[in-house]
Chains A and B, each alone.
Chain A
Amino acid sequence: MTRLAQRLLGPVTLLSLAVTAWLGLWVTPPDRVQGDLARLVYVHPALAWVALYLSFGTATIASVLYLWPRTRSVTADRVAVSAMEVSLVFILLTLATGSIWGRPTWGVWWAWDARLTSTAILGVLALGYLALRRANDDPEARARRSAVFAILSAINVPIIHFSVVWWKTLHQGATVFTSTRSLKIHGIMAWTLLISFVAFTLAYGWLVRARYRLEVARAGREAALLAEAIARRAAEVVR
């Protein structure tokens, strides 16, 4: 990514989120059946796309790249942890927005629905991944174990995706496309939905980049502290 693109990522992300909010709240009309509640469609599916597919997918691919001897690098490990942390935030936001929609529609904040439950399980898996990283002090062991766990956890993503097909669920099936791949949503509503996907994808890129830089800084600080401790010990021995 060029320096200019890196500098522009933040402002463009904020602008696209603002455009999504403006279109979603003021420009698009209320739904004929659900009224203003349907405006959550400009937030919830985009959050789920980032949480389940983009972030978790990135973390899984980075983990595979780390374990593959030819592509092993500390960068892959750092990308994996950055993407997983962002994934956890987006999973929680997905569940929260889903609950806000579920309360007036289904009458409950939470239902024992296959899609909801499997998404919550994915959140616990992401938490487990972060806990596993904290439990291992050795960087090599930490990276390997968390990479294996990320790959095992990714099995849950297709389960979430197909849960609305495999089980009878409260959660609706495919919302944007019909079974014949034609659009179910039209006009300004379709454009707003598309812009929301772009906005949240940009937000994901921005957050992962920031988290990656934090990981690099943390590793640098750990190395500096280690060097300082070794130097202090060496000075004590000489004395």
Chain B
Amino acid sequence: MIRVAGRVARKDLLIEWRSRVLLWQVVPFGAMALLLAGLALGPTRAGSSGAGPGLYYLVMVLVTLLAAQRSAQVERGAGTRASVATLGLDPAGVFLGKALALCVELWAIGLVLGAGTVLFLHTALRAALVASPSIAATLAALAAAGTLYGALTTGDGSAATLLPVLALPGFSPLLIAGERSFSAAAAGGATGSWWVITLVALVVYLAAGVVLYGVLEDA
């Protein structure tokens, strides 16, 4: 399972590296969304109301949707599913590999948008650094959830457009926990209880993916 996961993750990351979709489409979208969120709040509130952590996670959730859709799209290619079935790859390994690749992608985008949050929304650099472990864990949970929801909408063309409707409610506890954790770090408070929600969600989504991804591949 671990070997399959490593190979699938490498394959997905190579596809991303060669296609540069992440760099030229997803990152600019995230940066633009962050700027628009700042514009929507206005110069005073965007800079001083402590809205940075919330806006950061809102944009990261939207970016996760795009990246998860892209990750699922890779599996929709002609013959891909048949090849996976013929090779007899462990579905749990495929899920973990795809989740790992998506997680690495989200970490990379999260780093860029984190810098944007510090720069444009005046969130303290120290707060961002203190919150970075919780951000990494939240993005990992988003990657696991995104991979699972992406697999749900693989197949028919009409199902693919359902991803936001299906995934956003599932992402909401992560958005809340991540934002509270980041905000608490910015205010110099404790982040412990929010960490628990994030870690529980990560474990639940990973376990659900390991158990259920094969069912979705067969469907």
Instruction: State the A residues within 8 Å of B (CB).
Output: 67, 121-122, 124-125, 127-128, 131-132, 135-138, 140-141, 144-145, 147-149, 151-153, 155-156, 159
Contacts of B155 in A (CB 8 A): 136, 141
Q: How far is the CA of A137 from the CA of B156 in the complex (A)?
A: 8
Task: Please tell me if the beta carbons of B208 and A131 are within 8 angstroms of each other in the complex.
Answer: no
Which of B35-43, B121-129, B166-174 is the contact stretch?
Answer: B166-174
Contacts of A140 in B (CB 8 A): 219
Contacts of A148 in B (CB 8 A): 152, 212, 215-216
Q: Which interface class (under 10, 10 to 19, 20 to 34, 35 or more) fits B?
A: 20 to 34
B2 within 8 A of A: no
Task: Please tell me if the beta carbons of B215 and A128 are within 8 angstroms of each other in the complex.
Answer: no
Looking at chain B's contact residues, the main secondary structure is helix
Task: Please tell me if the beta carbons of A131 and B165 are within 8 angstroms of each other in the complex.
Answer: yes
Q: How far is the CA of A39 from the CA of B68 in the complex (A)?
A: 47
CB-defined A-B contacts under 8 Å, sample of 7: A67-B215, A125-B170, A128-B169, A131-B162, A131-B165, A135-B159, A141-B219
Closest to A114 in B: B176
Considering only residues 170-219 of chain B, those with a C-beta below 8 Å from chain A are 170, 172-173, 204, 208, 212, 215-216, 218-219
Known: A67-B215, A148-B212, A153-B170. 8 other contacts (CB 8 A): A124-B165, A131-B165, A132-B153, A135-B156, A136-B155, A136-B159, A145-B159, A152-B208
Task: Please tell me if the beta carbons of B152 and A145 are within 8 angstroms of each other in the complex.
Answer: yes
Q: How far is the CA of A44 from the CA of B4 in the complex (A)?
A: 50
Query: Given A135-B156, A159-B173 in contact, is the A144-B166 Cβ separation under 8 Å?
Result: no
Q: How far is the CA of A131 from the CA of B164 in the complex (A)?
A: 12
Q: How far is the CA of A135 from the CA of B212 in the complex (A)?
A: 20
Contacts of A125 in B (CB 8 A): 169-170
B109 within 8 A of A: no
A69: min CB distance to chain B, Å: 10
Task: Please tell me if the beta carbons of A149 and B208 are within 8 angstroms of each other in the complex.
Answer: no
Task: Please tell me if the beta carbons of B166 and A132 are within 8 angstroms of each other in the complex.
Answer: yes
Query: Given A131-B162, A145-B219, A148-B215 in contact, is the A136-B156 Cβ separation under 8 Å?
Result: yes
Q: How far is the CA of A131 from the CA of B208 in the complex (A)?
A: 21
Task: Please tell me if the beta carbons of B169 and A149 are within 8 angstroms of each other in the complex.
Answer: no
B195: min CB distance to chain A, Å: 14
Closest to A142 in B: B219
A168: min CB distance to chain B, Å: 13
A63: min CB distance to chain B, Å: 11
Q: How far is the CA of A161 from the CA of B216 in the complex (A)?
A: 29
Contact of A144 among B153, B159, B172, B216 (CB under 8 A): B216
